[in-house]
Homo-oligomer: A and B are copies of this chain.
């Protein structure tokens, strides 16, 4: 096997799997690991891949994984937030859960907007109260320290009394079969109540969380009216959700 051939093969494998192992390459190409190592070294020098201990990683892998600065997916979440804000009309009553995406949305609410927001999440609350025009209603009850959200029977009872126009949920995991799922029982109960109390349910999630799931179901896909991700609505990742009857924005 020629040197150029070998290196082409390495890049080929790299495109396929995003990673290669020196040992495996050596075995597959029937050359010594030293040779492979030298090849990897050259390719790394040429900027064709990223050399790591034990093998190499594709450049694409690195971009995807490490392009985030301080706040992960900040820009994606900003896009999602803007789309969600588009659904909120003047004088609406909006129920919102917690989560960084919701916080991002709260921060970006246009200053002139007059609407009423209802939440039990402390961090979201903090974002809302600095807005000049919106009304804020707090759902009271015991505070769940991990999620920093009010949970409990009273919170759920209060939410049941609400007739909101929108319920906007930050989502931990969403999946075609299982719908929205979460890991905290108390939070799940709360979200269920919020969905029941609103005319329309909006689900915010970064594309990464699509097709993942956790232990407890919040609701099925059918109960979701809008799904918002940072992707273009026509993206092929979203197609199954469109087929399932969800409006994707």
Contact = CB atoms under 8 A, between A and B. Distances in A.
Given A129-B122, A136-B143, A150-B140, A52 B172 contact: no
Interface string A1-40: 0111100100110111111010000000000000000000
B57 A4 contact: yes
A209 interface: yes
Contacts of A158: 140, 154
Contacts of A4: 50, 52, 57
Given A58-B72, A138-B141, 17 more contacts: A2-B53, A4-B57, A5-B19, A5-B57, A14-B72, A18-B100, A60-B71, A65-B126, A122-B129, A122-B138, A125-B125, A125-B143, A129-B148, A135-B142, A138-B143, A140-B141, A140-B150
Q: How many copies does the complex hold?
A: 2
Nearest to A127: B65
A1 B126 CA distance: 41
A218 to B, nearest CB: 15
9 closest A-B pairs by beta carbon, nearest first, are: A140-B140, A15-B72, A8-B65, A136-B143, A138-B140, A139-B140, A4-B52, A60-B100, A60-B71
Contacts of A12: 65, 208
Contact of A15 (B64, B68, B138): B68
A139 B139 CA distance: 8
Interface string A154-197: 11001000000000000010000000000100000000000000
A113 interface: no
A90 interface: no
Interface string A109-138: 000000000001011011011000001111
